[in-house]
Structure 1
Amino acid sequence: MRICIIAEGSYPYVTGGVSSWIQNIAMQMPEHEFIIYAIAAQKKQQGKFKYKLPENVIEVKEVFLDSYLEEDSKWGKRFRLDAEQKNNVKALLSGEGTLDWPSFIRMLRSSKFNQVSDFLTSFDFFDILEEVCREKYPLVPFTEMFWTVRSMILPLFITIRDNMPEADLYHSVSTGYAGVMGVVAKEIYNKPFLLTEHGIYSREREEEIIKADWVKGYFKDLWIQYFYQISGCAYKLSDQVTTLFGRNKEIEIELGCEAEKITIIPNGVRITDYENLPSEKPADQYYIGAIVRVVPIKDIKTMLQSFSLIKQELPNAIFYVMGPYEEDESYYYECMQLVDSLQLQDVLFTGSVNIKDFIGKMDLLMLTSISEGQPLAILEGMAAGKPFVATNVGSCKELIEGVNDGIGSAGFIVPVMHYEQMAQAAITLCKQEKLRREMGKNAYERVKNHYRQDDVIANYRRLYSEIGGELLGRDRIRA
């Protein structure tokens, strides 16, 4: 079977998390061919892959959301949209009414437009936007609204018009642009579309926009409702949905996904990969680590503030931040400034490394994210028998404390951004070796019993066979 995995802002440009998950799916299913449809923010990322692609990945189709900058539009055309087409555009811009996505996709992909930027400078678009402004944003200057909306929806429009590779099954690993392109592929080829959500895309975009300096206050709601709108496209039109844990399923149902088509498949790790790791370190030092990308959603600054308090209590503590920092260089620079302002010693940003060379030496691991799904970083650390201090996001509490599984706690859960509680929990683990070892043992037992990579592969192998095979009665590209 030929499977097209649609990824946004992750594989193969970024390591860890969702990217590692995709790499494992492809590597451990050599019986299938995979196409990667990779959506990235900027064209400067082209070809800069962080993974050695498995042999059964036969193509990587790269799409860049900033490609609209290359379009030179012509102003003032009239395309004579029909009533349904106008209503679809208005629903997208206003967040109200019913948006018929298949009809909308057909309109954007039609030969009516030489390029979609022409539509956004047409009289038709001006009329629709003016109506939305009059009804919902009467106090916002029209010029500001026009350029904001244009920058917001142009990447979506251009992506929808892109040529999708043909496959037997399309598997998007998020909603958002990736989810919409799964629907586009389903519309073009009449092939099944599987959606997997690790984190809740629309909620994560909402958190980012609320904090963003580049979005003016009165446009924040506009951006937020836009991301909820495009996420709803994938929920409505996917054939099946998988997610990682129960709370994710509940949120997806709240956001409009049919409960009957959602299956929970947790993440997993291969326990044997974390046996007999290097563990030698100075006996008089405490090694605290974080397996994490240095980006705002991981809230590295809270981690550093926490370590500042830990260092006051435990001067011989050393903190390892294990993960890439090139993804958001400005944020990494802010973190380094914070290290200087706190006058912190013994903080090491390792960059991209083989974590197996490090985590065996750690006394404990930390995670301070403000949003998560079911973090592979925690599962990897637990497989190595390490206790965690983590924020109460995603399934972190479920991983650390379990769900009536008879296994004790594998660490401490603290509120988001609460660096004092995080520091105290870490100090407790450092000072109490017996507790630390007991929680590390619990971590290992929970992963061994409930989060095995072999189970993940078996579940997706079955799903691929069911929805991409003969059960849906579709013609297939190849057996």
Structure 2
Amino acid sequence: MRIGLLTDGGYPYATGESRLWCDRLVRGLPQHEFDLFALSRSADQEQQGWVRLPDRVGRVRTAAMWTHFSEDTRHTGRPRGLTGRLATGLGRSYGRRDRRRFTAHMAALVGAVCAGAETGPEPEGVDAGTVAGLFTDGLYGLAELAGEHGGLHHALRSETTVRIVETACRAPGTGRTVHGATVPDYLAFVAELERSLRPLSLDWYDEDGLGAVDLCHAASGGAAALPGLLAKRFFGVPLLVTEHAVPLRAHYLAAPEAPLGAPVRALLANFHGLLASEVYRQAALITPGNTHVRRWQERFGADRNKLRTVYPGMEAERFAAVGEGDDEGGPATLVWIGRIEPAKDLIALLHAFAEVLRAEPDARLRIFGAPVQGAEGDTYLAQCRALAAQLFPDEATDAHAVGDNPVTFEEIGGPEVPDLAEAYAAGGVVVLSSVVEGFPISLVEAMFCGRATVSTDVGAVVEVVGGTGLVVPPRNPRALADACVALLRDPERRARLGAAARARALELFTVEQNLAAFRGIYLDLVGHAPSRWTTPPDPGDPAGPPRPFATPPEAHVLGALPPGRIAGALPAGAARPSAGVAVGAPAAAGASRVPSWALDAEGVCAGARGAGDGDA
């Protein structure tokens, strides 16, 4: 079958979220074809280029979410690439009837956003069903208008939209924050709203685009799933949503630092909340990457009957040599691995290690990582180095060798630590000190390596670790230090926890289990989906041929079929299947292929036997 993989700021770009998971999914399911529909988030991401795509990727369509609305994303010569053109319809030729339609749809959408901008997904004093109905009426109405006119960019940025936002913000019943919005806030919200709704104006919604796939698989919610919503509405394509983190949660966490006023942040938060609720409502199945994500999805309306947890798949072979070896690494060494940023709370870790060092003078802490890009990451790394120099004045200097310092800041790839597995092998205990975490990848990698772990209770940490590691409250250096000292003083316990951790990781978090889950999900969703039409049917004349799978699983028959045994199953004049068609091999042009369920035990097409062929 043909899968439309929808991504936002990730695959097929070389940088971004979910790129490794998506690449493993595409390469690990060779029986399916994939079309990619990707939204990019920055100029730097596009300059980094794409990863090398396998042959089973048929088409790639991309669109920029970071450019000005009048700019168009151009193809840069990559293989099989197609861009999503950003049309600029509904300009000066916008007729009176269409102006009324646009005003009505935009007023419904913005009115729903303003109704609960300060109270979350269940606004007080306002019926949640009414708000959701207004939002979806406005959203799909704008989508239909965009489809008729080739885009909505000028209309979404027009003075009409600004006045609609102003009216909605000043309407009775809106919260104090939104009611106090000013003209700069209206303009800022309109600009952000246009970017969020930009997928409505792409040229992906046609029979050769999203209409040609059997299933849309959104690699995250939010903007990435918006094309899937429209594919379902206009073509009946089932929608599968996978979230390893929650984009809505990330939006809330980033909001206080965003260069936007409080009214704009409140409006955007409610817009994304309403969009997430609609995505969950329309999805045929939702696959959270862990229970932490699942709880967020349920809070915003996801039906429990649609939820199925599928853990991200990770490559266990990369860490097999360390995990299966007897070397315990540095038995008195703590290892921390990750991106150096405030959310990882290295400050608390350094304070905790000062307590560890008092109890165990031979202990060492090796920090492997690089700061996140930007001034914030460099500033935080400098703060951590300064704190280390203050807490350990005699040892923490760059002039000393690695073995002489109780605390070292290192990067993976040097002569002493050439790869990631070697970094985990350098210590006897792996520490995670985060205050914010989604799915803790570094923790799973440590488990593959058979290392005992000490972690803070954030995100999906408890779910991942199970009973194979120690978990302490976040922002508690004393508890973190006590747990580390307990493991450093008990080598038998370290070994026992490390072996249990490796067994748990191999059972739950491998690429193989992830691929097996999605292999079954794809077949189940498409198998239960109703037949679709080649083009959207006319409500007055619904008759017409149903659309079969683009590439059905039964299309490839193993072995040769005797030409004379299937004659009765083929219409007059139809071409006969070629002999020796292998599983996964494309059929020759014009060749008919017989599905496996149409053959009996002898390989004869059902219905092809005559009366004397032994039928009961």
Q: Deviations over 1:196-241 (max 9, x none)?
A: 121232223212224x152334543333222212211211111111
Q: In percent, how many aligned pairs have the same letter?
A: 19
Q: CA separation in 2, counterparts of 1:414 and 1:191?
A: 45
Q: How does 1:402-413 map to 2 (within 5 A)?
A: 402=466, 409-413=467-471
Query: Is the alpha carbon distance of 1:439 and 1:92 closer, same or farther for their aligned partners in structure 2, counting shifts above 3 Å?
Result: same
Tell me, yes or no, if the aligned pair for 2:454 and 2:484 is still in contact at 8 Å. Answer: yes
Quote how far apart the aligned CAs of 1:69 are. 5.3
Q: How does 1:345-384 map to 2 (within 5 A)?
A: 345=396, 346-350=408-412, 354-384=419-449
Match of 1:100 in 2: 136
Output the amino acid matched with 2:479.
Q
Query: Is the alpha carbon distance of 1:472 and 1:427 closer, same or farther for their aligned partners in structure 2, counting shifts above 3 Å?
Result: farther
Q: Deviations over 1:23-47 (max 9, x none)?
A: 2212211222223333232123115
Match of 2:525 in 1: 467
The secondary structure found in structure 2 opposite 1:38 is strand
Match of 2:536 in 1: none
Q: CA separation in 1, counterparts of 2:53 and 2:353?
A: 37
Match of 2:189 in 1: 149
Match of 1:442 in 2: 500
Query: Is the alpha carbon distance of 1:229 and 1:301 closer, same or farther for their aligned partners in structure 2, counting shifts above 3 Å?
Result: farther
Match of 2:610 in 1: none
Match of 1:175 in 2: 221
Match of 1:320 in 2: 367
Output the amino acid matched with 1:421.
A
Which has the larger displacement, 300-309 or 34-43?
300-309
Pair 1:10-2:24 in alignment: no
Tell me, yes or no, if the aligned pair for 1:40 and 1:63 is still in contact at 8 Å. Answer: yes
Q: Deviations over 1:229-262 (max 9, x none)?
A: 2211211111111123445434322211122211
Tell me, yes or no, if the aligned pair for 1:183 and 1:234 is still in contact at 8 Å. Answer: yes
Output the amino acid matched with 1:260.
N
Pair 1:194-2:240 in alignment: yes
Q: Which has the higher helix share?
A: 1
Query: Is the alpha carbon distance of 1:424 and 1:17 closer, same or farther for their aligned partners in structure 2, counting shifts above 3 Å?
Result: farther
Quote how far apart the aligned CAs of 1:174 are. 1.6
Question: Relative CO higher for 1 or 2, CA cutoff 8 Å, sep ≥ 6?
Answer: 1
Pair 1:162-2:202 in alignment: yes
The secondary structure found in structure 2 opposite 1:342 is helix
Q: CA separation in 1, counterparts of 2:285 and 2:183?
A: 41
Tell me, yes or no, if the aligned pair for 2:452 and 2:494 is still in contact at 8 Å. Answer: yes
Match of 2:451 in 1: 386
Match of 2:490 in 1: 432
The secondary structure found in structure 2 opposite 1:186 is helix
Match of 2:376 in 1: 331
Q: CA separation in 1, counterparts of 2:107 and 2:497?
A: 59
Match of 1:422 in 2: 480
Match of 2:100 in 1: 80
Q: CA separation in 2, counterparts of 1:297 and 1:6?
A: 28
Quote how far apart the aligned CAs of 1:125 are. 4.3
Quote how far apart the aligned CAs of 1:155 are. 1.0
Quote how far apart the aligned CAs of 1:172 are. 0.9
Task: Give the number of aligned pairs.
Answer: 468
Q: CA separation in 1, counterparts of 2:336 and 2:186?
A: 46
TM-score, with structure 1 as normaliser: 0.84
Q: CA separation in 2, counterparts of 1:260 and 1:361?
A: 44
Q: CA separation in 1, counterparts of 2:195 and 2:164?
A: 21
- The Cα RMSD (Å) is 3.4
Quote how far apart the aligned CAs of 1:385 are. 0.5
Q: Deviations over 1:250-288 (max 9, x none)?
A: 432221112221112233445444222397798586251
The one of 127, 137, 157 equivalent to 1:120 is 157
Match of 2:26 in 1: 26
Q: CA separation in 1, counterparts of 2:286 and 2:460?
A: 18
Which has the larger displacement, 382-391 or 429-438?
429-438
The one of 110, 116, 123 equivalent to 2:147 is 110
The secondary structure found in structure 2 opposite 1:256 is coil
Tell me, yes or no, if the aligned pair for 1:120 and 1:150 is still in contact at 8 Å. Answer: yes
Q: CA separation in 1, counterparts of 2:328 and 2:453?
A: 19
Tell me, yes or no, if the aligned pair for 1:268 and 1:379 is still in contact at 8 Å. Answer: no
Quote how far apart the aligned CAs of 1:317 are. 1.6
Tell me, yes or no, if the aligned pair for 1:200 and 1:248 is still in contact at 8 Å. Answer: yes
